Amino acid sequence: MREVAVVGFTQSPSVRREPDRNEIEILIPVIQALREQTGLSSKDFDFICSGSSDYLAGQSFAFVSGLDAVGAWPPVCESHVEMDGAWALYEAWVKIQMGYADTALVYGFGKPSMGDLPLTMALQLDPYTMMPLWPDAISIAALQARHCLESGVLRAEDMAAAAVRDRANAKGNPNAQVKGDFSVQQILAEPFLVNPLRKSDCAPISDGASAIVLAAGDRAKQLRDRPAWIRGLEHICEPMDFGIRDLGRSRGTEIAARKAGVSNDKIDVAELSAPFTHQEILVERALGLTQKTKVNPSGGALAGNPLMAVGLSRIGECATRIWSGEADRAVAHATSGPCLQQNLVCVLEGN
């Protein structure tokens, strides 16, 4: 395997609604800042890969204009996934492993505020038996939360505590959208949004973008004193049908974590992309994290949830903490699909 590291990371602030800028105009300064951070220009990237969703943009092939932010002349080698940018990073990593590239630019962007996000998300369900019922994303997550509560997997207090932790951590994150000091009692006193979920159990709807530079071997060492080396990277997809999944745990995350070698050594920092508090707890358990790990120092997805960039940003948030020496070993998580259907786990190390 080739040694590949995260050597650059930039992101836009997560905001509830970008009133003026379109998706590409949100992305342009993020890519510009990444060029300045790494000293690289577009012609230095052997491969470019992006993650976004035409369903958020409301138009087909919307991702193509994302290249306006990159500059595609002379012709570039690029690809796109209709997924979170974390999966675009996976594709870029494979490309580097295969020897087709030494450096890669990866970005993700989304402007879900343009549509009705919970309903838009219904379109990712099984098109024959579930989607025609138009179950919105919050209601689907609420069914999973109800299952977790009824089966004793977790308690409402645990869910509220996850929100309290993330929002307190997010106070130090200028890009976070939801932050501040809250108490478990405060959150449990909120009315239900969709029983048993309260508003504080749900990640916010966020517009935003983020971008990462990957580099292999010596190239990475030239670009960073202490690159964040990718030592494990796996993603696992569970079946589409909820009826044949155990919704009280995240099997996909468990398998991905095992394959990525999460438990091989201590984990200093974990960044999780679960968009609901009960899901965050399921992911935390699936990764086998203990008290020694600082979870979501940035606030995680519950503090800022720019769809299609939020998972990629988790990898970036881990990388920055490796670069600074704050962490020696970190794990980032990204998810896609309803009820943690697909999960990606990335282990980063400083040594």
Partner 1 sequence: MSPSEAEDKTTQPVTVLPCPISLDYAYSAGQSASRFLRAIAEGKLLGQRCPVDGRVYFPSRGACPMHGVTFGDDAVELSDKGTIVTFSIVRVPSQNIALPLPYITVNVLLDGADTILIHVLDAKLEDVHMGMRVQAVWKPKEEWTTSTANILYFRPIDEPDAKYESYKEHI
Rounded Cα distance, 202 and 199, in Å: 5
181 scored as a contact of partner 1 (CB under 8 A): no
β-pairing verdict for 228-237 and 269-271 = unpaired
- Nearest distance in Å: CB 6, partner 1: 21
Rg (CA), the chain: 19
- Nearest distance in Å: CB 302, partner 1: 25
Instruction: Report the residue number, 24 or 230, with the smaller CB distance to partner 1.
Output: 24
80 scored as a contact of partner 1 (CB under 8 A): no
- Nearest distance in Å: CB 58, partner 1: 4
Q: What CA dihedral angle connects 289, 188, 308 and 120, to 10 degrees? A: 140
- Nearest distance in Å: CB 24, partner 1: 6
Rounded Cα distance, 149 and 170, in Å: 27
Using an 8 Å Cβ cutoff, are 237 and 252 in contact?
yes
- Nearest distance in Å: CB 105, partner 1: 10
114 scored as a contact of partner 1 (CB under 8 A): yes
Which residues between 33 and 72 bind partner 1 (CB under 8 A)? Answer: 42, 55, 58, 65, 67-72
127 scored as a contact of partner 1 (CB under 8 A): yes
Instruction: Report the residue number, 131 or 237, with the smaller CB distance to partner 1.
Output: 131
- Nearest distance in Å: CB 179, partner 1: 26
16 scored as a contact of partner 1 (CB under 8 A): no
- Nearest distance in Å: CB 335, partner 1: 22
Stretch that binds partner 1, among 108-116, 181-189, 229-237, 312-320 (CB under 8 A): 108-116
Burial class (CB in 10 A: 0-12, 13-18, 19+), 42: middle
- 3-state helix/strand/coil string of 124-167: HCCCCCCHHHCCCHHHHHHHHHHHHHHCCCCCHHHHHHHHHHHH
Given candidates 77, 123, 189, 237, which one binds partner 1 under the rule CB under 8 A? 123
Per-residue CA distances from 191 to 147, 165, 281, 303 (Å): 19, 20, 21, 20
Using an 8 Å Cβ cutoff, are 229 and 218 in contact?
no
- Nearest distance in Å: CB 123, partner 1: 7
| Cβ neighbours of residue 222 closer than 8 Å, sequence gap 6 or more | 215
344 scored as a contact of partner 1 (CB under 8 A): no
* Inter-axis angle of helices 137-150 and 277-286, nearest 10: 60
Given candidates 2, 77, 119, 290, which one binds partner 1 under the rule CB under 8 A? 119
Tell me the residue type at 205.
I
Q: Of 57, 10, 8, nearest to 29 (Cα)?
A: 10
Instruction: Report the residue number, 34 or 282, with the smaller CB distance to partner 1.
Output: 34
174 scored as a contact of partner 1 (CB under 8 A): no
Q: How many residues does the chain have?
A: 351
- Nearest distance in Å: CB 79, partner 1: 17
Instruction: Report the residue number, 23 or 317, with the smaller CB distance to partner 1.
Output: 23
Stretch that binds partner 1, among 25-33, 147-155, 232-240, 313-321 (CB under 8 A): 25-33
> How many residues of this chain bind partner 1 (CB under 8 A)?
33
150 scored as a contact of partner 1 (CB under 8 A): no
Per-residue CA distances from 218 to 213, 224, 227, 233, 318 (Å): 14, 10, 10, 20, 21
Residues within the interface to partner 1 (CB under 8 A): 18-22, 24-25, 28-29, 31-32, 42, 55, 58, 65, 67-73, 113-116, 119-120, 123, 127-128, 131-132
